[in-house]
Amino acid sequence: MVAIIDYDAGNIKSVEKAMKLLKQEVVVTRDPETILSADKVILPGVGSFGDAMGKIRQYDLEKVIHEVVERRIPFLGICLGLQLLFERSEESPGVQGLGILKGEILRIPETEGLKVPHMGWNSLEFSGDGRLFRGIPEDAYVYFVHSYYLKAEEPEIVTARTEYGTEIHASVEKGQIFACQFHPEKSSDVGLRILKNFVEL
């Protein structure tokens, strides 16, 4: 069973729909027992870093997420869900992230000819042997919607990069923790293959 953590994030329905397309038993929940009994856990997210961390704390989910990681249940953060795994974000100064991974979330620089937020399809350059990307060709295109990007402190956890005014750490993997800045659930066949790789771990 795949548990999608419900903390009023914006893209829950599209992630749930993608899981059902992959014939997965899926539950959208904020119940700790249900989350901890899942085979896989997904933290989706659209919105602001500070508001999202506020909701996670309001619903008492921070400890549950840390326990999922400690139990080595495969965990996937998507978009804002990637950013929340890290320590801090320029979007919400003073707000502490989950701090599960080391790094910071920075504002995409304003560059001539490039709009922020970054909305659209960008190609991925693989920088490691990421298990999410089995069977995915180099330079495959995926869909992004974001104004802030990850700069991971540990380069060895970065499995995919993209360029948009700066180098963006587009995906990370550490142990049983996986995260994507892009939206696999909105990235057509490539995205479905990435999600399939996750559920088949």
Give the residue numbers annotated as catalytic, written as ranges.
79, 183, 185
Alpha-carbon gap, residue 162 to 168, rounded angstroms: 5
Q: Return the amino acid letter for 145.
A: V
Query: Parallel, antiparallel, or unpaired for β 75-78 and 40-43?
Result: parallel
8 A C-beta contact, residue 60 and residue 35: no
Say whether 137 sits in a helix, a strand or coil: coil
For 58-101, the DSSP string reads HTT-HHHHHHHHHTT--EEEETHHHHHTSSEETTSTT-----SS
Tokens found for residue 198? 């996750």
